[in-house]
Structure 1
Amino acid sequence: MVLASCSTAVLGLLALTGALHLAPFAALENLSPHWLGDHTWLTLPAAWPATALLAFGTVKTVSLTIRTWRELRTAWSTAGGPESAGGLSVSPDSHPYAYALPGRRGSPGRIVVSAAMLRALDPREREALFAHERAHLTGRHHLFLGVAHLAATLHPVLRGLREPLAYALERWADEAAATAVGDRRPAARAIGRAALAAHQHNRRDADHPRTVLTATSGPVPLRVSALLQSPSGTGPSGRRSRCVIAVALLVCLAATTDSAMHAADDLPTTVEIAQSDTASY
């Protein structure tokens, strides 16, 4: 999100710098484009695509926000029926699905599950499924996924991070479910049978908002395989590798942030100099 914000800020600075080289916009700040430096040959060609990208990102962000709000509002209205109690909402739908619906206005959220999904699982597997979805709620995983969607909208190169993040969040909830039921095998069976039941209906996951996670999303075979294996801690070499990667990412983010802040600080200074030189002239 820091990278996406910095790239968006840089696009805005490029667009603003190009606008100030145009006489109508320069007149609003009482300066002459001549005093901004003779870089029109470079500034204007860079400003036009920056303006287009900034406008496109703004439209996409507004569209994503409106769409997400509508999907959540629809889910909230349908999940509060008479069969909803104790943080659990059961739908009479014949299509198997289950997802964790985040709360609003301070409410903790609830687990939404269809009757068909409950029929597909035995009691122990239902317990594991509920523990999985409850982990999504307590971990507020929808915020992670929402930030990833927003960052990818602002910076399209970051789209490749959404699927790995969703998989990591599902694995987080899988391990929480295995811990809650005290056995990894029922948790693995619950994930596998839930995914198989949903797949047999040959329907896309359209029963839930796109910014929430379901127990049947992602590469289910990999998740089941990980649950069937004994948990193993990360060795010293693995921890060192993760530390090196984390430090490298932090250095890149710090350099990106510093560049954006330097550019943001340099433009007002240039404008002030141009204004004072124009007044002196």
Structure 2
Amino acid sequence: MRVAVYLPLLLSVLAPFGARYVAERCEPRLATWLLTASAVILGAAGTVSLGLLAVAGLLRLPWLADLGHWSAPMAQRDSPAELSVSLLAGLGLGGAVVMAARMLWRRARTLAAAALEAACLPVRDGLVVVEDETPDAFALPGLPGRVVVSTGMLRTLDASEHAVLLAHERAHLTGHHYAFVALAQLGAAANPFLRPLAAAVGYTVERWADESAAAVTGDRVRVARAVGKAALAARHTRGLALGIRGLRGAGPVPRRVAALLAPRPVRRPVLTAVAVALPALAVVSGVEAVRDLHLLLEAVGAG
């Protein structure tokens, strides 16, 4: 337990250093899945580790040992956490739970409001056009979702680029990209070290939608041009166009345009294996730490 309980916390610190590399090198859909799963798993594993450290350190308290009929000397000898570490872990655990709960509440309210708004909007073939000179376009999740486009954005893009716009936004809806972003943000709320992973997921869902639009239109250069034009038109507005509500500005536009002008990304088995191995190692370490704490409780109880 002395090593296993700390390993998920260490991996949470190390994983963000590879987030951008995975986002840039992996196929966007796969990168989104990998980064989202890593954020959720590492966030959960780190929270469990904090809880285990808090409990293990509290075993050192003589009065608590008396209540549990444990051997205080044995607990003080075998516990993997000093009391000071246990107190810090307890504070971290409380903060993680509060921040995760707060994020869940805010996200649930946002999605509920979006679904209600989508249900009330007039729609034609899933598209809502609003009279607004501000260039804007976004996907509004709901049952069903809506693609909302301003007249200003329609005038900014030519007829061929309208198809790119619709394909991009519909990819956000069909791919449930808001769920990936919400899950990644949940992991980052529980563990602030994972914020780069959440930011990378925001970028990869945009790349995922870009590639979907390229597949639908069959013209990567046209998609790159539409992304660039929409971003330039929206530079003085709040957020970037071609983004799902809540995801605007998720990825630097020049990187997206450069990726579209490059050959279509391919799967990278080695990079994928490494990205899978890190959260898997965190899970194995967490399970081992829980098992070791159980054995420790049995030992101090027997003593």
Instruction: Compute the displacement of 1:244 (Å).
Output: 2.9
Instruction: Tell me the distance in 2 between the aligned counterparts of 1:195 and 1:81.
Output: 28
Task: Tell whether 2:87 aligns with 1:48.
Answer: yes
Classify 1:44/1:123 alpha carbon distance in 2 versus 1 (closer, same or farther; 3 Å): same
Stretch deviating more after TM superposition (35-44 or 262-271): 35-44
Tell me how far 1:209 sits from its aligned partner: 4.4
Give the number of aligned pairs.
Answer: 263
Match of 1:61 in 2: 100
Q: Does 1:223 align with 2:256?
A: yes
Match of 1:221, as an amino acid? P
Distance in 2 separating the partners of 1:177 and 1:245: 25
CA contact (8 A) 2:119 2:144 kept: no
CA contact (8 A) 1:79 1:89 kept: no
Tell me the amino acid that sits aligned with residue 226 of structure 1.
A
Question: What's 1:17 paired with?
Answer: 56
Matched, 1:77 2:107: no
2: CA distance, partners of 1:34 / 1:16: 16
Q: Report deviation, 1:86.
A: 3.1
Partners of 2:274 and 2:105 in 1: how far apart? 35
Which AA in structure 1 matches 2:293? L
Shift in CA distance, 174/29, structure 1 to aligned 2, threshold 3 Å: same
Identity %: 40
Q: Distance in 2 between matches of 1:59 and 1:11?
A: 14
TM-score by length of 2: 0.75
Cα-Cα RMSD: 2.8
Q: Distance in 1 between matches of 2:46 and 2:130?
A: 43
Structure with bigger RCO (C-alpha 8 Å, 6+ apart): 2
Letter in 2 for 1:2: I
Q: CA deviation at 1:50?
A: 0.6
The answer on whether the counterparts of 1:81 and 1:89 sit within 8 Å (CA) in structure 2 is no
Is 1:162 aligned with 2:195?
A: no
Q: Which residue of 2 aligns with 1:31?
A: 70
The normalised TM-score by structure 1 is 0.80
- Kindly state the Cα deviation for residue 39 of structure 1 after the two structures are TM-superposed: 5.5
* Partner Cα distance (2:141, 2:199) in 1: 20
Q: Give the Å deviation of 1:54.
A: 0.9
2:129 is equivalent to residue 90 of structure 1: yes
Instruction: Describe the superposition over 1:37-67 as per-residue Cα deviations: whole angstroms up to 9, x where unpaired.
Output: 4357952111011111111111111111122
Match of 1:264 among 283, 290, 293: 290
Cα 1:23/1:101, change in 2 over 3 Å: farther
Q: Kindly provide the amino acid, as one letter, of the partner of residue 222 in structure 1.
A: R
SS of residue paired to 2:120: coil
